[in-house]
Structure 1
Amino acid sequence: MKTWSLRGIGLAGCSTLLLGSLAHAQTQPAVEDVDTSATKLEALKREVAEQAAALDAMKQSMAQQEATIRELRGVLGLDVLARKRGGQRAGSGTPVTPSDAATAATAGAAATSATQSVPNLPANVVQGAQPGSAQGDGMPLAGDPEPVGVAPQRDARPPEVAPIFDQPGVLTPAKKLVIEPSFQYGYSSSDRVALIGYTIIPAILIGLIDVRQVKTSTYVSALAFRYGLTNRLEIEAKVPYVHATTDTISREIFTGSANDNAFGASGSGLGDVEATIRYQLNQGTERLPYFIGWLRYKSRTGRDPFEVTTDCVTRCVANTTGTGLPLSMPTGTGFQAIQPGITWLFPSDPAVFFGTFSYLHNFTRSNVSRTVLGGQQEFLGDIRAGDIFEFSFGVGLSLNEKASFSIGYDQSIIWPTKQNGATVPGSVRVTLGTLLVGYSYRFSKRYTLNVSVGAGLTRDTPDLQVTVRLPITF
């Protein structure tokens, strides 16, 4: 009995040890599983925190992107406003002013900077904001194919303005022909003899006439042809037809007469044909104007003052018969001339400033004779009309895409006429000052109407001058 009891107790102890070992073996994996789950949970928490931080960063990036887009819309909106106010559209065939190019370049730089500073900004958002699109929604307007990030190519031609001077500022495009019919009316009233327009009244008027007042009306119809050899070089030929009338109110001296007499004369015919060549010297920038150099040659194809018959029997000097006035009006100046000059244009949105400097040199005529009554000739010798220095300046404004307005001032200084090397008695330096306003309206790419009005500011200047031009492009 004791032996069995000891064995039983031993077996019971072994069983207990065995069961304890099994229990311990089953408990250890459970603890390890709990540790692993805690580690994974911590990792998930860290990942969630990182994702939350990334989400916050993305929100900040989106806010920056929205601010950049609003800034770009504002810049592009100004560009659209400038174009609506008469600026030019890139790619539409009309000139682009430096201010437009600067605006587009600023917008492009801003877009590029935005793309570089915000790498998560989709490319189509920036590139979709086309020049001229106020919304920046990727819907480009007609004539605006360039993206914001690329500045449109500036036009090398100066901007067009309403012409008020004789010399245009915008050259004819290459291989294009412009035919410009024009009509000019001028009226002047002066109490002394002077050089006026196409009329040169002989400066020597010594006789029975004391000239008190001369009223002259001049009508000039002209046809000009301009052809563009290149985009920066053009040639021009101008053929005028002149009709002039004059009424002279005077009183005879040495006769005791107290009555004024009126003498009238008129004349019509071909005027002085002109030829001009123009070349654009540079491509203007925001700080440097466009410069266009030109050279004009004026012939003497018109009937000059020495060819018309003068109301004298044999001589107009110390002659007691005749008035000493021309019986018909000349249609030309009677002198060949060459005139170099330079025209400048400076765009400053929304205006364009422009001006001209030139010098006209009249060539001397030798062995000149004047025709008097009966067809006789009065020998005068060598005659040289005074040279002319001219300068002008003005400003042009674009009212809309078709209309423009200009205002300016033109001044000419005429030196005295010389005969046989000596100044003609009574011939003095004359200053002509004219205030000019002009209006231009473009009906289409082919037809444009230009109207200008000039008012004389000095006594020697024609009182009124009205010019109408209709350039037609082929």
Structure 2
Amino acid sequence: MKKGIFFTGLLFSLAIPVHAQDKQVVDSIANTLETRGLLTPKGTFEIEPAVSYSQNTSNRISILGFTQVPAFLVGIIELEDADQATFTTSLAARYGLTERIELELRVPWVYRYDTFRKRVGNGQASEAPRTFTSKGGALGDIEGAIRYQFNLESAPFWIGGVRIKSDTGESPFDNELDENDIFRDPPTGSGTWSIEPSMTLIYPTDPAVLFGTAGYSWNLGDDAGRDLDDDGEANDKFNLGNSFFLGMGMGFAVNNRLSFSLGVNHRTVFKPSINGRKVGEVLQLDSLSTGFSLALTEKSSLNLNLQAGLTEDAPDVEVSFSLPITF
């Protein structure tokens, strides 16, 4: 792909004629890195239906008791294996307010199917594994975003943005637990508002397009409506922990309709807190992504993104399809 042709794609918001391939490469990389690339042109409206599936498994050993000597344990050892499958359908709407400003609104619907297998051993005796399930679907956390492109004519191209996530999904603190400490209806949201500023870099270098993004997410916290730390307080204040994310990748145009991209994503989630006291541990989420984008018409394309987790905290696999349509 010629660099001059790609520059034409970047000037799409200036109403200069472009081919679908030019914008397609950048959008393919953006989808791989879970962000946005080129902005929607001024006066143009775009909708993007999408569907995704993620699978995550974890093994946890909880020791309820105390140790008298290093080799002798008094108490109960509980082994737990959790499988979590999440299906998400969403509809995003974007509008080019000016040549440099884009507005976005995204509404998700989330369905979760969680399976837990527990085995409890006490002394020399042990029980057979028991299986528990929790499933259900509801509205997720609605998101709104605004993005601004700082430069239009000279590379590298910089795009800044702010994303605001609501608490419209079912909070984990609002959902009831059964006698086995399993959600009767799994939560579909985080239960708190968050603000996420970010910065994106797009740099064309023949024959590839390089892409990078970084940002920080602030969780505003909220009241849990229950006692979370057994201190007698009936309404504890919680904060799920802020996070920092970083992604980078590159993309290539295979032909005038198909593009291919590779990327790496990282997110560090800092410790959550209850009533201002830090609890839990820092999480490291890393994933390797690959994406494909196929231009169906000059105003629509089909995007496929596949992510594989590289760390224990990251989801094992995530597959998503999206169909952006420009009007």
Instruction: Settle same-fold status: TM greater than 0.5.
Output: yes
Structure with the larger strand share: 2
Residue in structure 1 matching 2:126, options 245, 257, 275: 257
CA distance in 1, matches of 2:24, 2:90: 26
Structure 2 match to 1:57 = none
| TM-superposed deviation, 1:439 | 0.4
Structure 2 match to 1:423 = 278
CA distance in 1, matches of 2:163, 2:282: 23
Say whether 1:160 aligns with 2:26. yes
Structure 2 counterparts to residues 48-87 of structure 1, below 5 A = 82-83=1-2
| TM-superposed deviation, 1:165 | 2.4
Residues 159 and 347 in structure 1, CA contact (< 8 A), matched pair in contact too? no
| 1:265 partner amino acid | S
Structure 2 match to 1:443 = 296
Residues 11 and 153 in structure 2, CA contact (< 8 A), matched pair in contact too? no
Counterpart secondary structure, 2:234: strand
| 1:172 partner amino acid | T
Unpaired runs of at least 5, structure 2? 66-74
Structure 1 match to 2:262 = 407
Say whether 1:394 aligns with 2:249. yes
| TM-superposed deviation, 1:346 | 0.3
CA distance in 2, matches of 1:329, 1:369: 17
Residue in structure 2 matching 1:186, options 29, 51, 54: 54
Say whether 1:218 aligns with 2:91. no
| 1:302 partner amino acid | G
CA distance in 1, matches of 2:6, 2:115: 53
CA distance in 2, matches of 1:208, 1:192: 14
| TM-superposed deviation, 1:351 | 0.5
Residue in structure 1 matching 2:107, options 236, 239, 253: 239
| 1:354 partner amino acid | F
| TM-superposed deviation, 1:258 | 3.0
Percent identical residues: 33
Residues 208 and 323 in structure 1, CA contact (< 8 A), matched pair in contact too? no
| TM-superposed deviation, 1:335 | 1.2
| TM-superposed deviation, 1:423 | 2.2
Query: Compared with structure 1, are the counterparts of its residues 416 and 209 closer, same or farther at alpha carbon in structure 2 (3 Å cutoff)?
Result: farther
| TM-superposed deviation, 1:413 | 0.5
| 2:187 partner amino acid | P
Structure 2 match to 1:383 = 238
Structure 2 match to 1:335 = 192
Query: Compared with structure 1, are the counterparts of its residues 442 and 370 closer, same or farther at alpha carbon in structure 2 (3 Å cutoff)?
Result: farther
CA distance in 1, matches of 2:136, 2:213: 32
| Count of aligned pairs | 303
Structure 1 match to 2:68 = none
CA distance in 2, matches of 1:211, 1:468: 36
Residues 277 and 295 in structure 1, CA contact (< 8 A), matched pair in contact too? yes
| 2:210 partner amino acid | F
Residues 209 and 250 in structure 1, CA contact (< 8 A), matched pair in contact too? no
Say whether 1:291 aligns with 2:138. no
Structure 2 match to 1:102 = none
| TM-superposed deviation, 1:209 | 8.2
TM (normalized to structure 2)? 0.85
Query: Compared with structure 1, are the counterparts of its residues 208 and 300 closer, same or farther at alpha carbon in structure 2 (3 Å cutoff)?
Result: farther
CA distance in 1, matches of 2:317, 2:106: 23
Say whether 1:269 aligns with 2:126. no
Residue in structure 1 matching 2:5, options 88, 91, 99: 88
Query: Compared with structure 1, are the counterparts of its residues 406 and 159 closer, same or farther at alpha carbon in structure 2 (3 Å cutoff)?
Result: closer
CA distance in 2, matches of 1:421, 1:212: 29
| 2:312 partner amino acid | R
CA distance in 1, matches of 2:224, 2:175: 16
Residues 25 and 251 in structure 2, CA contact (< 8 A), matched pair in contact too? no
Structure 1 match to 2:71 = none
| TM-superposed deviation, 1:406 | 0.5
Structure 2 counterparts to residues 19-58 of structure 1, below 5 A = none
Deviations 1:75-97 (A, max 9, x none): xxxxxxx55xx97389xx74479
Residue in structure 1 matching 2:147, options 278, 281, 287: 278
Query: Compared with structure 1, are the counterparts of its residues 158 and 244 closer, same or farther at alpha carbon in structure 2 (3 Å cutoff)?
Result: closer
Structure 2 match to 1:455 = 308
| 1:405 partner amino acid | F
Deviations 1:316-368 (A, max 9, x none): xxxxxx32222221110111100000111000011000011010110121353
Counterpart secondary structure, 1:462: coil
Unpaired runs of at least 5, structure 1? 1-81, 98-142, 145-156, 194-202, 312-321, 372-377
| TM-superposed deviation, 1:257 | 3.0
Structure with the larger helix share: 1
Residues 366 and 382 in structure 1, CA contact (< 8 A), matched pair in contact too? yes
